[in-house]
Amino acid sequence: MLSKICYVLFGLVCFLLTENISAQDGLKDKFNQVIRENSIEEKTPQNSPQEVKKEGQQSAQSDSVQMVKKKAESQDSLMTAMEDLSFDAGLIEKDAIDSLKFESRVLSVKKRRPSKEYSKEKQWSKYMGITHNNVYKKEHVLDTTKNVLGWHPYWMGDAYKSYNFSLLSVIAYFSYELNPRTGGYKTVHDWKTTALIDSAKANGTKVVLSVTNFGAQNNLTFLSSKKAQKNFIDQLIDLLRLRGAHGVNIDFENIPRASREQFTNFIIDLSSSLRSIDKDYLITIAVPPIDFNRVFEIRQLSPHVDLFVIMGYEYYGANSSVAGPVAPLQSGQLWWEYNLQSAVNEYLVAGTPANKLLLGLPYYGSEWMTYDLKFPSKARKYIGTTTYRNIRKKHGDLACCEDDVSKSKFYVYRDNSNNYRQLWYDDSLSLSRKYDYINEQNLGGVGIWALGYDNGYTELWKLLAAKFALSESKAAAVKASVSGSRFSFRRIMSLAYRIMRNPQRLFTNPRPLIGVFGALFGVSIFGFYALYRWGCRFKRMFGIAIKSTLALLIIVLLAVVFIAMKYTAVRDVAFLLCGFIVGSIIILFISRKFLTEKDLP
């Protein structure tokens, strides 16, 4: 009796220290069970030896049943009720959740990559079989209230040549692989040379660098070191400046609970540091479908973060013993209770502004060898993931079938070895349902893992246009309103400013120089013609006025440039002044004959 009382007291202490609500409920049930047992023991008279023996047999039977049940649950902790222990395919999942398995699946998604290692995009493209034969090229204008963010994995090579950039708000280049001890990078793959960045910027799509750090120990190491964080921020700024990129996507997965405050401080520091360089830098964070470790202090992070992207996939996958939808919108009575809607609700309740919340969806599916063709069916073996592109190539345009509950597509068949198989994935129809949900909830948009996984097929691009782009009439009005600003004074000054800040960028992206040169060339041609046509008269009648006016204009121009750009670096000021002086000398040398020419009598 005393030992049971001690057990209850110990459990009560654990209960008070426990933050997880589901854990509290479990402990409550245990306390109630022990209390009931104690009360029964106190009220029941001592049994005879025969009764004790009988109860011992019943207890042994009960223990045996419990062992069988525990073993069945250990085989698949997503399953809560097995109506038949002989692998009944009609089993129903309801309440039990193995978040550890789910978390490990989510963590595995972006760690899955080809075993090959190549140094050039062309090699990756050849290995992945990238084609550019079937491309959706129609230009669109995205609704400004929606963001379409897609990750471009380095192993997709030059698949970006088939991207419709007009349907992408942001591309996250994957990835800066963080060295947690130093803050430097193990590799940034083709970031320094890829033409993806120039192509995206030329079409008005913003580019961010995705920074990855996987595993609790790696995150603990990095977030515990302010020195490593500072080194990371410095290197990140250099890489963003090098390519003229627009920001960062932080993809830290499996952050330990102990690093919660450190992660918040890191994001605030990162945001402040980047925006002290450029106030328009984007700060985006990839977040798990469940905040497993309660790490994300949304209300603290939100003022410093532009977009939170939920990684809404892997609800069923490699270590689930039931075949099911990769990204279920709802659960109903068939699937376990976590789904895309519950993920969105969790982050909204936590304080995430709806317009900052993006729902990430998969362009891939998962396949199992199953005991039955009907669902849900217990899996015999997990076959693996496969991209939308490979699904289309292998199975063609699959008409069957859609699960109306999860709003996901599935395909069941018998393989050549007479094994049942189930393939769960998303296509244009099921994604359409989920895009509708995004719009109905007024979320900030959609995230895509991963761009290029539909290479060679256009229907998913057309769906993005249908759900997130403006109608043709509205798009035409928007284009008309902005066409006049292409050669505006502000744009020219912005291009000149970018050249001054980082002249080395001209070797990788000469577009700013071409833009500035084009504008100056037009002005120079007009000035040259004026000197040629009216130079002598100008010299005789307005010589002094011209000289003083030109000097004044140069001074005013300098003032406007530095006031507009808020830029006062002495070295660059001197550099710019020297440029004006050299340019003036060249112009005077070329036009000296016209300035000294006399009128004939």
pLDDT at 37 over 50: no
pLDDT category of residue 140 using cuts at 50, 70 and 90: very high
Q: At 15, phi and psi to the nearest 5?
A: -60, -45
Amino acid at position 529, single letter = Y
**Strands 420-425, 185-187: parallel, antiparallel or unpaired by DSSP?**
unpaired
- pTM, two decimals, is 0.69
* Mean confidence (pLDDT) of the chain: 80
CA distance 545 to 257: 72
Q: Tell me: the pLDDT tens digits for 366-405?
A: 999 999 999 999 999 999 999 999 999 999 887 679 999 9
Res 16: pLDDT: 46
Name residue 172's beta-bridge partners: 151, 208
Whose tokens are 């963590």? That residue is: 107
pLDDT at 555 over 90: no
Domain boundaries, the chain: 104-360+426-479, 489-596
What's the distance, CA 188 to chain centroid? 17
Q: Tell me: the pLDDT tens digits for 502-531?
A: 676 666 566 666 666 666 666 667 666 666
**Strands 364-370, 379-387: parallel, antiparallel or unpaired by DSSP?**
antiparallel
Q: At 335, phi and psi to the nearest 5?
A: -115, 165
Name the CATH superfamily, with its identifier, for domain 104-360+426-479: Glycosidases (3.20.20.80)
Res 475: pLDDT: 81
**Strands 185-187, 402-403: parallel, antiparallel or unpaired by DSSP?**
unpaired
CA distance 206 to 433: 27
CA distance 358 to 381: 33
**Mean pLDDT for the stretch of residues 190-205:** 96
Least confident among 307-321, 340-354, 527-541: 527-541
pLDDT at 183 over 70: yes
**C-beta contacts of 558-564 below 8 A and 24+ residues apart:** 560/493, 561/493, 561/496, 561/497, 564/490, 564/493
pLDDT at 438 over 50: yes
H or E, element range at 575: helix 570-590
Evaluate whether 146 touches 444 at the Cβ level (below 8 Å).
yes
Res 563: pLDDT: 63
pLDDT category of residue 35 using cuts at 50, 70 and 90: very low
Structure tokens that stand for 55 in this block: 């109860």
Res 82: pLDDT: 35
Res 371: pLDDT: 97
Res 149: pLDDT: 99
pLDDT at 93 over 50: no
Res 103: pLDDT: 84
Res 315: pLDDT: 96
pLDDT category of residue 408 using cuts at 50, 70 and 90: very high
